[in-house]
């Protein structure tokens, strides 16, 4: 469903991403792990059209999308949940969700999808008229995911969904990610600094280091890899 071929991204003279190639098959959860500054968020921003690609190809469902406007990419079926959630704090929870459906025009379908989001995250229904800024970090993450789902994506880009959240809340968020794949067939590209949490729910993964793909493999292979354990799982010795 999503393929990157030799993608390069520059910030001025800084070569932030270097000839990255990866793919995500329909219905897969693929994790992209790496340290801060590895280029993970930059790569997601390039896929969603927010960041310009300076070389290579980005192909979504057989269509080249590098250079397309973000709103067009959303209409094609690809939505991003940004790092640090970026909800619209002064607006209500309900208005945040409605903004996620801004490319859609069938009000009945939008209303039905909002009900599905509320069923998935009941706390959002309870607080639907509250300002988003008043929500806890975990609730804001639920809102950010719900807002992305309102665009009816076929592929979801999740950027650090566990950032700043308590471990139990983080586990709940990842349970919902797995349920979305199981129940809706959603394809997910997941960026997460917590490699253990990401690989626990992913089918496959890529390790990004200083803008390059260093390793790739199944989640089990990466979890068993000695270098990955030392660098990202906090294990100095084999267990």
Residue 161: give its domain's CATH number: 3.40.50.300
**Domain membership flag for residue 134:** no
Helix, strand, coil percent values for the chain (each to nearest 5): 40, 25, 35
Surface-to-core class of residue 111, CB atoms within 10 Å of its CB (0-12 exposed, 13-18 middle, 19+ buried): exposed
**Does residue 108 sit within a domain?**
no
Residue 38 lies in a domain: yes
219 assigned to some structural domain: yes
Question: 111 lies in a domain?
Answer: no
Give domain status of residue 121, yes or no: no
Q: Is the pLDDT confidence value at 237 over 90?
A: no
CA distance 53 to 46: 6
Domain assignment present for residue 207? The answer is yes
**Residue-range definition of the domain harbouring residue 33:** 2-85+153-232
Q: Number of structural domains, the chain?
A: 1
Reported as a single tens digit per residue, the pLDDT across 193-231 is 889 999 999 999 999 999 999 999 999 999 999 989 888
Q: Give pLDDT tens digits for 63-119.
A: 999 999 999 999 999 999 999 999 999 999 999 999 999 988 888 899 999 999 999
165 within a domain of the structure (yes/no): yes
Cα of first residue to Cα of last residue in the chain, in angstroms, is 36
């Amino acid at each position: 469903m999503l393929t990157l071929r030799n993608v390069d991204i520059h910030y001025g003279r800084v070569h932030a991403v270097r000839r990255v190639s990866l793919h995500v098959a329909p219905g897969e959860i693929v994790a992209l792990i790496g340290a801060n500054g590895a280029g993970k968020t930059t790569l997601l921003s390039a896929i969603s059209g927010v960041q310009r690609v300076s070389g290579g190809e980005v192909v979504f469902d057989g269509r080249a999308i590098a250079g397309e406007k973000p709103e067009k990419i959303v209409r094609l079926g690809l939505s991003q949940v940004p790092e640090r959630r970026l909800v619209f704090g002064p607006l209500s929870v309900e208005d945040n969700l409605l903004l996620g459906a801004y490319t859609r025009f069938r009000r009945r379908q939008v209303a039905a999808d909002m009900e599905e989001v509320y069923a998935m995250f009941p706390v959002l229904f309870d607080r639907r008229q509250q300002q988003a800024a008043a929500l806890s970090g975990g609730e804001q993450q639920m809102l950010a995911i719900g807002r992305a789902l309102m665009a009816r994506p076929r592929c979801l880009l999740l950027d650090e969904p566990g950032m700043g959240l308590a471990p139990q809340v983080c586990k709940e968020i990842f349970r919902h990610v797995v349920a979305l794949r199981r129940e809706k067939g959603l394809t997910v590209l997941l960026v997460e600094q917590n490699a253990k949490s990401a690989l626990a729910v992913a089918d496959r993964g890529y390790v990004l280091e200083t803008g390059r793909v260093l390793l790739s493999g199944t989640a089990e292979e990466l979890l068993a890899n000695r270098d990955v354990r030392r660098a990202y799982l906090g294990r100095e010795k084999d267990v």
